[in-house]
Structure 1
Amino acid sequence: MSEERETPERRRERLRQEELKRNPAGSIHGGGLPDLVGGMGWKFTGILILLLIVGFLIYSLFFR
């Protein structure tokens, strides 16, 4: 795929991989939230956030 037709997501991932090759010590502590969310689509990220909020609300209602 040429760089002109590369999607923004693929470009970000390619740049991140190049950065990890240049600086492997930066990934010792894991990727964190940007890597987690970067690998998912926006719909899945929204569903995950919604589930976390609903889970917290259920927890706070039943375990007070």
Structure 2
Amino acid sequence: MSEDKETPGRRRERLRREELKRNPTGNMNDAFNRAETGNLADLVGSLGWKGTGILILIIIIGFIVASIYLK
């Protein structure tokens, strides 16, 4: 068996990464749609580190605002 051959799983992953690089805004929409089904790993993977940081900040700010108004 040749080591140059790409397995189907590796090929799918490579194509997915290439699509993420080509279309970041569409992938953010896909990530949020995937989040509705409960797959957090795909959400974070699609957003990247900047998007994940923004998401965490929004969650923290939401908790702060909720704690202030619900006292």
TM-score for the superposition, normalised by structure 2: 0.47
Larger RCO (CA within 8 A; separation ≥ 6): 1
Number of aligned residue pairs: 40
User: Aligned partners of 1:49 and 1:55: how far apart in 2?
Assistant: 10
Partner of 1:14: 13
After TM superposition, the runs of 4+ consecutive aligned structure 1 residues lying more than 3 A away are none
User: Could you say which structure has the higher helix fraction?
Assistant: 2
How far apart are residue 31 of structure 1 and its match? 5.5
Matches within 5 A, 1:1-64: 14=13, 30=37, 32-64=39-71
